[in-house]
C-alpha cells in the first residue's frame, strides 16, 4: 500500500513546456516527517555533459531505494539499491550510462535529448511499502552552439559591419563558422561564383591572397576569411559571394548583400508596436477599432488605459495570455471589446471617448513596451427638421485603400427604406455607358451594365464588391437609388490603391488631396494637387463635379499667366499655378465634389476629383472664437529618414509666458527637448535634446536629420502669464513608401521589406526601377533559371499570372513586379531571382536574399562560483542554443559597464572578472538577440566576501 500519491505536480507540468534551458523541477510526495530533497549538479546540463541528481537527508531505516524513468507505477526501473546488502540491481530502464550511489544519488553520463523527462526516486521500508516518492524533471539543453565552441554543423554565414555604409566609407564582410579543415576560400562580386567575378582568393597553408579579375585595389582578405572593402562607391552595392573549400574538397557557399545607408534608414527599421484608428475620425454614436500592428509574439499580458498615464483609475482592461482571460478595469464602460491580438473595439462612441489611449505590453522577458493613439470624435449635428430615419446615403470603402490584385467592398449606409432599385456607375456621372450594374429589390435580381468587367458583385444591402482590383479601377464610383415614390438619391466614393505596394510603377496620375481631410465651418482647406503635369495649356476648377458654365469656379491660362473667374466663384477661392486651390472661411454649402480639368500641351484633357467634407462647428456659449484650441501640424505629414520636419504650432495663447517641448506623450523633465522663454526670446535645451532640434518664436519645432528613433509622439506644453497650462500632441511618422526613391541609380534592384523576417511573418520583395517596356516577369527561388525553381510568371499584356513548380501557395505577385511571401518558414530563406523579358526580348535579372530568423530561445548563465572572495576571480558563461546571436551582459538589470578588471571572450559569451571587488556583488544576466527577437537569462547572484 502506498503512503503517498504519485500524481504529477501541476506547476511542474505547466512549466515543462516553458523552460527552454536545461533544468530540473522537483515534485515531492512525502509524509510531513520526511525531509528528502533533490538537487542538481550542475544546475543546467547540456548535451554530452554529465549530471548528478543528488539526494539529501535520507533516513537510516529505509530498506530499498529505487530510481524510475517516469512518474507512473509501471514506469521502467533504472535500478535499485539495498543499503543493508550494498547490492545494486539494474532494471530495464538502465541505458548503460547511469550509476546509483549508496547515498541514493543518481549519476547520468553523456546526457542526450532522449534523457529529457521525469525521474522518480521511491523509498521502500521493511514492510515493502512505498513511504515516499520524489520526482524531478530533466530538460537537456541542446548543444547546437555553446560558448566559444561552435558546432561542426554550424552554417557558414557573413555579416556586413556596419549593416549599411555611406559612400566613401569602409565595410567589413565578417565571416562566421569557417570550416575547421579549410583549404582555401574565394570571394566573388555577385551571386554566381565564376572566374570573371572573382575578387580574391586566400590559401590557408601559405596565409597568402591572390587578387582576381574583379579586384579593384580596395579589397583586403584577412586570414579569418573576412573581406574589407574601402572607399565604398554606389557601384559596390549588391551581392558578394564567399566560396570555401575544405581539405576533403567539399565546397560551401554563403552570400551577403551590401546596402547604402539610405536603404536601412528608411526601409529596415525594427517593427514597432503601432495603433491605427479605424476610422481615423469617428462620429458620435458610431464604432471605432483601435487596430494594433506588430504586437510582439512573446507577450505575457497587455493593458489598455483611457489616458497616456498608467493608473488603475484609467485602466480599461487587462488581458492575460496564459489564462486567455480579460480582467476589466475601473475605466471600463461596457462598450469596449478586447481582442487577443491587442486590438480594442469601442461601440457607441461618445464625445467623452475622445483623447489619448495607452496600450502597455508586458513581454516574456518582463520588459514593458508602450504605444499610444489619439481618438478624434466628431459631434453629429442633426437638423431639427430631420428625423434619425432620414440619415444621408453614404458609401464607405472597406478597406480605405487596397493593394492591386486584392478585393474591396464599397459598403452602403442608410439606404432608403422604400427602395425600389439601385444603380452603380464608374465615375462621377450617372450615365448609361458608365453603368456597372443595376439591382431590382422586388425580384432581388441584378443586371450588368456596359461598364461591367465581370469582377463586380452587388448585394441586397446595395454594397458593391470589386475583386482583383487593377490600377484603372481607381477613381470615383457613384450609387444612384430610386425609391417607390420615384425619388432619386446619389452618393459617391473614391477608390484608392495602397501606394506603399502596388502603384509605384504605373504612370503617375493627377490626384487631389484635401488638407485637412475634414474641415470645420469657418476654417480653410487646401486642395493639394499631386503629379500635376509640367507641360500644360490651362486648367479649370468646377463645383459641382460637372463641366458647365454655371459650375465653373475659375480657369487659369498658362501662357498669359492669367485667371478668369466663373459663375461658381464665391470670392473665397485662391488658386496656384501648380493647380492647387485654397478655400478660406468654408461654409456647409461648400461641401461636396470638385473637379479639376487640365488641358495638356497635346490638347488631351485630364480630370481629377476630390470630395470636401465640412463639419459643423458647434460653438460653446461660454467660449469665444478667440480661444481656438492649441494644435500642432507635422509639415510634411510624414518624413523620409535623414530629412527635416517642422512641427507647426497653431493657436498659441496671446498671453504666452513660456513653452516646453517633450519627446513622448508625457510632459516630464527627463523627456524635455527644449524650453522657450517669450520675454527674453531665449531657448534652453533639455535632457532629451539631441542637438538637432530648434524652436522658433511662434512655438514651432524644427527637427533636422530625422532618424528612426525620432518617430512617435511629441508634446507641447504652454504656460500663459496667468499660469494656465495648455497641452497639445503630434505624432511624427517616417514615410516608408520612398524606399525605391532613395536609389541613386536606375538599376533594377530588389529591396526586401523588412530586411530580416521572423518565421510566420510576411516579407515583400519590393522591385525598384522596373522598365516600362516589360513584356513578362519571372520569379525563381534560385539564382538559376530552371522550371523546378520557378515561382511565377506574370504577363503584363494579358494581366495574368501562371504559377510555377516552386509556388507554395504563399506567394503573391503584383503588377509592379514585387513578390509578397506570407507565413514565412526557414525553407523560404535564400536567394531569389527576378527575370524581366523586355519587349525587344532582352533579358534583365536582379537578385535578392531573404533572411529568415526564428525567435531566440532562453539562454542561461553558469558561474564558476556564486560566492567569491575579494581579490579572487570569477567567470560567467552564457549558453544559448541559437546560432549567430549577439550577446549583451546585464548587471542588476542594467547594461554592464565594463571596467579594466573585466574581460569578454571574442563572442562575448564569457565574462571574466579578475580581481573581484566588493562592488561586483549583484545579479548578472546575459541577453541574446538576433535581428527579430531577444531574450534574457534568469539572474545569477554573485556574493563577494572579505578575505
Confidence of residue 11 (pLDDT cuts 50, 70, 90): very low
Can you tell me the mean pLDDT for 86-103? 89
Cβ neighbours around 373 below 10 Å, total:
21
Q: Which of 363, 116, 148, 322 is nearest to 858 (CA)?
A: 363
pLDDT in tens, 782-808: 888 888 899 999 988 887 888 999 998
Give the three-state DSSP class for 474. Answer: coil
Could you write out the DSSP letters of every residue in 711-745? -EEEEEEEEETT--EEEEEEEEEE-GGGTGGG-SS
pLDDT in tens, 720-758: 888 888 888 887 776 655 556 555 557 788 888 887 888
Give the three-state DSSP class for 151. Answer: coil
Can you tell me the mean pLDDT for 768-783? 88
- Cβ burial of 881 (10 Å; 0-12, 13-18, 19+) is buried
Question: Rounded to the nearest 5°, which phi and psi values hold at 7?
Answer: -65, 135
What is residue 30's predicted lDDT score, i.e. its pLDDT?
41
The model scores a pTM over 0.85: no
pLDDT in tens, 855-901: 888 888 989 889 999 999 999 999 887 877 889 999 998 889 889 99
Confidence of residue 316 (pLDDT cuts 50, 70, 90): very high
Looking up cell 476648377 gives 541
Q: Which of 350, 300, 339, 341 is nearest to 322 (CA)?
A: 300
What is residue 392's predicted lDDT score, i.e. its pLDDT?
78
Whether the per-residue pLDDT at 315 is higher than 90: the answer is yes
Pick among 2.60.40.10, 1.10.287.110, 2.40.128.640, 3.90.180.10: CATH of 149-267: 2.60.40.10
What is residue 384's predicted lDDT score, i.e. its pLDDT?
39
Euclidean distance between CA atoms 396 and 495, whole angstroms: 10
Whether the per-residue pLDDT at 941 is higher than 90: the answer is yes
pLDDT in tens, 450-484: 999 888 888 878 888 888 888 788 778 889 998 88
Averaged pLDDT of the chain: 81
What is residue 626's predicted lDDT score, i.e. its pLDDT?
42
Whether the per-residue pLDDT at 288 is higher than 90: the answer is no
What is residue 791's predicted lDDT score, i.e. its pLDDT?
93
Q: Enumerate residues 6+ apart whose C-beta is below 8 A from 38.
A: 24, 26, 28, 53, 54, 55, 56, 121, 134, 136
- The radius of gyration of the chain's CA atoms, rounded to the nearest angstrom, is 35
Give the three-state DSSP class for 390. Answer: helix
pLDDT in tens, 822-835: 889 989 988 899 99
Q: Which of 760, 826, 665, 608 is nearest to 305 (CA)?
A: 665
Whether the per-residue pLDDT at 25 is higher than 70: the answer is no
Confidence of residue 386 (pLDDT cuts 50, 70, 90): very low
Looking up cell 484608392 gives 496
CATH topology (fold) of 860-945: Immunoglobulin-like (2.60.40)
Ranked by mean pLDDT, the top range of 127-141, 187-201, 401-415 is: 187-201
Q: Reply yes or no on domain 274-378 having CATH 2.60.40.10.
A: yes
Euclidean distance between CA atoms 544 and 477, whole angstroms: 15
Can you tell me the mean pLDDT for 548-565? 87
pLDDT in tens, 318-355: 998 888 788 899 999 888 888 888 888 888 889 889 88
What is residue 777's predicted lDDT score, i.e. its pLDDT?
93
Q: Do 149-267 and 274-378 show the same overall fold? A: yes
Domains of the chain, residue spans = 10-143, 149-267, 274-378, 405-496, 627-737, 746-853, 860-945
Euclidean distance between CA atoms 252 and 246, whole angstroms: 9
What is residue 734's predicted lDDT score, i.e. its pLDDT?
67
**Helix, strand, coil shares of the chain as percentages rounded to 5?**
5, 45, 45
Proportion of the chain above pLDDT 90, given as a percent: 19
Euclidean distance between CA atoms 812 and 818, whole angstroms: 8
Cell reading at 297? 509574439
Query: Strands, DSSP E only, in 721-829?
Result: 725-734, 749-753, 756-758, 763-768, 774-780, 790-795, 800-803, 811-813, 819-821
What is 746-853's CATH superfamily?
A: Immunoglobulins (2.60.40.10)
Secondary-structure class of domain 10-143 per CATH: mainly beta
What is residue 143's predicted lDDT score, i.e. its pLDDT?
60
Instruction: Give me the helices (H) in 747-826, please.
Output: none
For the four alpha carbons of 783, 786, 789 and 795, in that order, the dihedral sign comes to positive
Give the three-state DSSP class for 309. Answer: coil
Whether the per-residue pLDDT at 201 is higher than 90: the answer is yes
Proportion of the chain above pLDDT 70, given as a percent: 87
Instruction: Give me the helices (H) in 123-174, please.
Output: none
The CATH number that domain 405-496 falls under is: 2.60.40.10
- Least confident window among 8-17, 175-184, 270-279: 8-17
Looking up cell 575579494 gives 870
The CATH number that domain 627-737 falls under is: 2.60.40.10
Whether the per-residue pLDDT at 505 is higher than 70: the answer is no
Can you tell me the mean pLDDT for 763-786? 88
Identify the residue with better confidence: 505 or 74: 74
Euclidean distance between CA atoms 304 and 734, whole angstroms: 25
What is residue 599's predicted lDDT score, i.e. its pLDDT?
93
- Least confident window among 438-452, 636-650, 762-776, 844-858: 636-650
Whether the per-residue pLDDT at 380 is higher than 60: the answer is no
Q: Which of 862, 854, 855 is nearest to 46 (CA)?
A: 862
Annotate 566-586 with b (16+ C-beta within 10 A) or e (fewer). Answer: bebeeeebebeeebbbebeeb
Whether the per-residue pLDDT at 193 is higher than 80: the answer is yes
Cell reading at 342? 491587442
Cell reading at 366? 518582463
Whether the per-residue pLDDT at 22 is higher than 90: the answer is no
Amino acid at each position: 500500500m502506498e503512503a503517498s500519491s504519485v500524481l504529477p505536480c501541476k506547476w511542474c507540468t505547466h512549466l515543462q513546456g516553458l523552460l527552454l534551458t536545461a533544468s530540473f523541477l522537483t515534485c515531492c510526495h512525502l509524509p510531513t516527517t520526511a525531509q528528502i530533497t533533490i538537487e542538481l549538479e550542475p544546475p543546467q546540463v547540456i548535451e554530452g555533459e554529465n549530471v548528478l541528481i543528488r539526494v539529501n537527508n535520507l533516513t537510516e531505516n529505509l530498506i530499498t531505494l529505487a530510481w524510475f524513468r517516469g512518474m507512473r507505477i509501471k514506469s521502467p526501473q533504472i535500478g535499485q539499491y539495498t543499503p543493508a546488502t550494498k547490492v545494486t540491481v539494474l532494471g530495464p530502464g538502465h541505458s548503460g550510462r547511469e550509476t546509483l550511489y549508496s547515498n541514493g544519488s543518481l549519476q547520468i553520463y553523456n546526457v542526450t535529448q532522449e534523457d529529457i523527462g521525469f525521474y522518480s526516486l521511491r523509498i521502500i521500508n521493511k514492510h515493502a511499502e512505498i513511504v515516499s516518492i520524489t520526482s524531478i524533471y530533466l530538460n537537456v539543453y541542446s548543444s547546437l552552439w555553446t560558448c566559444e565552441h561552435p558546432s561542426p554543423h554550424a552554417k557558414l554565414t557573413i555579416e556586413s559591419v556596419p549593416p549599411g555604409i555611406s559612400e566613401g566609407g569602409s565595410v567589413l564582410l565578417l565571416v562566421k563558422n569557417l570550416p575547421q579543415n579549410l583549404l582555401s576560400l574565394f570571394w566573388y562580386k555577385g551571386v554566381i561564383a565564376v572566374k570573371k567575378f572573382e575578387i580574391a582568393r586566400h590559401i590557408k597553408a601559405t596565409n597568402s591572397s591572390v587578387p582576381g579579375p574583379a579586384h579593384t585595389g580596395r579589397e583586403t582578405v584577412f586570414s579569418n576569411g573576412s573581406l574589407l572593402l574601402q572607399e565604398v562607391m554606389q557601384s559596390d552595392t549588391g551581392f558578394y559571394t564567399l566560396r570555401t573549400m575544405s581539405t576533403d574538397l567539399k565546397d560551401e557557399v554563403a552570400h551577403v548583400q551590401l546596402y547604402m545607408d539610405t536603404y536601412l534608414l528608411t526601409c529596415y527599421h525594427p517593427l514597432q508596436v503601432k495603433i491605427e484608428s479605424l476610422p481615423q475620425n469617428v462620429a458620435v454614436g458610431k464604432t471605432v477599432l483601435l487596430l494594433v500592428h506588430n504586437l510582439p509574439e512573446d507577450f505575457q499580458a497587455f493593458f489598455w488605459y483611457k489616458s497616456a498615464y498608467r493608473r488603475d483609475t484609467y485602466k480599461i482592461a487587462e488581458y492575460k495570455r496564459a489564462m486567455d482571460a480579460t480582467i476589466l478595469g475601473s475605466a471600463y464602460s461596457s462598450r469596449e471589446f478586447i481582442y487577443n491580438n491587442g486590438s480594442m473595439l469601442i461601440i457607441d462612441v461618445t464625445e467623452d471617448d475622445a483623447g489619448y489611449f495607452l496600450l502597455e505590453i508586458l513581454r516574456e522577458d518582463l520588459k514593458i513596451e508602450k504605444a499610444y493613439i489619439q481618438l478624434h470624435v466628431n459631434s453629429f449635428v442633426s437638423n431639427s427638421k430631420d428625423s434619425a430615419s432620414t440619415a444621408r446615403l453614404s458609401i464607405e470603402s472597406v478597406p480605405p485603400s487596397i493593394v492591386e490584385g486584392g478585393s474591396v467592398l464599397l459598403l452602403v449606409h442608410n439606404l432608403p427604406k422604400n427602395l425600389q432599385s439601385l444603380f452603380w456607375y464608374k465615375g462621377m456621372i450617372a450615365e448609361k455607358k458608365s453603368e456597372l450594374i443595376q439591382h431590382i429589390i422586388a425580384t432581388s435580381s441584378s443586371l450588368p451594365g456596359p461598364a461591367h468587367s465581370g469582377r463586380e458583385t452587388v448585394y441586397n444591402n446595395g454594397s458593391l464588391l470589386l475583386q482583383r482590383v487593377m490600377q484603372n479601377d481607381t477613381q470615383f464610383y457613384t450609387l444612384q437609388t430610386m425609391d417607390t415614390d420615384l425619388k432619386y438619391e446619389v452618393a459617391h466614393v473614391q477608390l484608392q490603391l495602397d501606394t506603399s505596394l502596388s502603384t509605384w510603377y504605373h504612370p503617375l496620375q493627377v490626384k487631389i488631396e484635401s488638407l485637412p481631410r475634414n474641415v470645420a465651418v469657418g476654417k480653410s482647406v487646401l486642395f493639394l494637387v499631386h503629379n500635376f503635369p509640367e507641360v500644360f495649356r490651362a486648367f479649370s476648377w468646377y463645383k459641382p463635379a460637372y463641366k458647365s458654365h454655371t459650375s465653373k469656379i475659375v480657369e487659369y491660362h498658362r501662357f498669359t499667366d492669367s485667371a478668369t473667374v466663373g459663375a461658381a466663384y464665391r470670392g473665397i477661392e485662391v488658386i496656384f499655378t501648380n493647380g492647387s486651390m485654397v478655400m478660406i472661411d468654408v461654409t456647409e454649402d461648400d461641401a461636396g465634389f470638385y473637379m479639376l480639368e487640365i488641358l495638356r500641351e497635346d490638347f488631351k484633357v485630364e480630370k481629377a476629383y476630390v470630395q470636401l467634407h465640412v463639419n459643423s462647428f458647434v460653438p460653446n456659449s461660454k467660449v469665444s472664437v478667440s480661444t481656438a484650441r492649441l494644435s500642432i501640424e507635422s509639415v510634411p505629414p510624414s518624413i523620409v529618414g535623414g530629412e527635416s520636419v517642422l512641427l507647426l504650432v497653431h493657436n498659441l495663447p496671446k498671453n504666452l509666458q513660456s513653452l516646453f517641448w517633450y519627446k513622448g506623450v508625457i510632459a516630464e523633465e527627463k523627456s524635455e527637448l527644449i524650453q522657450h522663454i517669450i520675454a527674453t526670446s531665449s531657448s534652453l535645451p533639455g535632457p532629451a535634446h539631441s542637438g538637432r532640434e530648434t524652436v522658433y518664436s511662434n512655438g514651432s519645432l524644427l527637427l533636422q536629420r530625422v532618424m528612426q528613433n525620432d518617430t512617435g509622439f511629441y508634446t507641447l506644453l504652454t504656460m500663459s502669464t496667468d499660469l494656465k497650462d495648455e497641452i497639445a500632441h503630434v505624432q511624427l511618422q517616417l514615410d516608408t513608401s520612398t524606399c525605391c526613391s532613395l536609389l541613386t541609380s536606375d538599376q533594377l534592384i530588389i529591396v526586401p521589406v523588412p530586411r530580416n523576417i521572423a518565421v510566420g511573418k510576411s516579407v515583400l520583395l519590393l522591385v525598384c526601377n522596373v522598365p516600362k517596356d516589360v513584356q513578362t516577369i519571372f520569379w525563381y527561388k534560385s539564382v538559376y533559371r530552371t522550371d523546378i525553381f520557378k515561382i511565377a510568371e506574370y504577363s503584363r499584356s494579358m494581366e495574368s499570372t501562371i504559377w510555377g513548380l516552386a509556388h507554395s501557395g504563399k506567394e503573391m505577385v503584383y503588377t509592379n513586379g514585387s513578390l509578397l511571401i506570407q507565413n514565412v518558414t526557414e525553407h523560404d530563406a535564400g536567394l531569389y531571382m527576378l527575370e524581366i523579358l523586355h519587349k525587344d526580348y532582352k533579358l534583365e535579372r536582379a537578385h535578392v536574399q531573404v533572411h529568415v530568423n526564428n525567435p531566440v530561445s532562453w539562454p542561461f548563465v553558469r558561474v564558476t562560483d556564486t560566492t567569491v572572495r575579494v581579490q579572487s576571480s570569477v567567470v560567467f558563461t552564457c549558453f544559448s542554443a541559437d546560432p549567430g546571436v549577439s550577446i549583451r551582459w546585464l548587471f542588476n538589470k542594467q547594461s554592464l559597464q565594463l571596467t579594466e578588471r573585466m574581460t569578454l571572450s571574442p563572442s562575448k559569451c564569457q565574462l571574466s572578472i579578475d580581481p573581484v571587488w566588493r562592488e561586483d556583488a549583484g545579479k548578472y544576466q546575459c541577453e541574446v538577440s538576433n535581428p527579430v527577437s531577444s531574450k534574457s537569462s534568469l539572474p545569477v547572484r554573485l556574493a563577494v566576501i572579505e578575505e
